[in-house]
Amino acid sequence: MGILFVVAIFIVVAAIIVLVNFISYLAVDRIVTKEGLWKTIQVWTVLLVPFMYLIISDLGNSNSCCGDTAIFSPEYRIGIYFLMFLCIGAYLVSAWRKELLSPIQELVINVFLILGLIINVLLSVHLNDIDDGYLFWIFGNLPIILLILIKLSENHRLIKKQIAENQIEAKGEFGKLCMELLSLQPILKYSVLTMMLIPILVFVSMFLMLFGQKPDSLIRAFTDTYKHGFSQLDHLCANVQCGGHFLCSVGANGHREVVKPIRYGERKGNKIICNRQLLVSNAFEELVQERSPILHANLRANYNKVGDKIHKHYHVFNNKYVSDLVYLFMKPLEYFFLIVLYTFDRKPEDRIERQYLSGKDRKELMAVRDEELILKPLYK
């Protein structure tokens, strides 16, 4: 805990220094921090902060409906990390070179700085839904964005200055074209450089295909995730109830003619699909909890362990045929639960019927039952 606290302090201090220098750069056109400290802050912010947060937080997780989930799709994250490595390399080269490189190299560096800017904006949106997303934006994305903006401005001014002083020379037609692009006005220049990202990203995607990645892997790294800004797989968690009847919930995802869903239910404010097996299992748990709280606590603790294992590999159990097998596997237990309910409960079907009903629906159901009891003697 002490080490994490010290690291957090360094991150906050670095972010504040970057912000102060950005304001100073806009106001008086200079960096107020000493050169050695400023370079250290740049390395820390651009290199260490993203890798500490993303690699430690991301690589330790997989796509999961419950608990922490991966920032990037585990199957496609290699492409994003590759681009991040190139962007960080471009920034460090730009910050440490003593003089301008060749026009082609300067053009590539500026293109990848713009790509780094775009990736950080995308990350700020993608991580906005997590609990500490705003903290990463303030102390992670924002300082990096400010550093890149400063570096792009410094690069442009340095190029304009050396062109005016005839200190840079372009050889060949391609080199001259690069020099002309670098010397354009900022709005036009950065628009053209942004457009140049398209062929570069296409080339990177083709390169990644050699490692088994798909052509759209850079996009799917964001979209094939759960519970983030660009996630497109949240629907797979629609019937996953963390801490609920895991196997029965999975079984309800099977083929309709096998698992036989009968109605919708409500759990913790979320709509779920209920079949007979799920209702019976939950009624059994409710009965055990009423009659023997200690036994229920032990059963629930062990059942949660099974559920945790299922949620780590939920993509497997989300398959309809697998869910059918789970449903059939649970059938003997379902019959056992029914035997217990009919043995120890005076009105087992009433208990089964009210499972996963909202509070309002439960009251209406109880009102109907009471009315039937009142009217029943009149029809004898």
Ranges under pLDDT 50 in the chain: 1, 373-380
What is the 3 state secondary structure string of the chain? CHHHHHHHHHHHHHHHHHHHHHHHHHHHCCCCCCHHHHHHHHHHHHHHHHHHHHHHHHHCCCCCCCCCCCCCCCCCHHHHHHHHHHHHHHHHHHHHCCCCCCHHHHHHHHHHHHHHHHHHHHHHHHCCCCCCHHHHHHHHHHHHHHHHHHHHHHHHHHHHHHHHCCCCCCCHHHHHHHHHHHCCCHHHHHHHHHHCHHHHHHHHHHHHHCCCCCCCHHHHHHHCCCCCCCCCCHHHHCCCCCCCCHHHHHHCCCCHHHHCEEEEEEECCEEEEEEHHHHHHHHHHHHHHHHCHHHHHHHHHHHHHHHHHHHHCHHHHCCHHHHHHHHHHHHHHHHHHHHHHHHHCCCHHHHHHCCCCCHHHHHHHHHHHHHHHHHHHHHC
Residue 379 pLDDT: 42
Residue 112 pLDDT: 94
Q: pLDDT (tens digit, 9 = 90+) per residue, 320-361?
A: 788 888 888 888 989 999 999 999 988 888 888 888 887 676
Cα three-residue angle 113-91-197, rounded to 5 degrees: 25
Residue 115 pLDDT: 94
β-bridge partners, 263? 274
What residue segments make up the domains of the chain, in order of their start? 2-223, 238-379
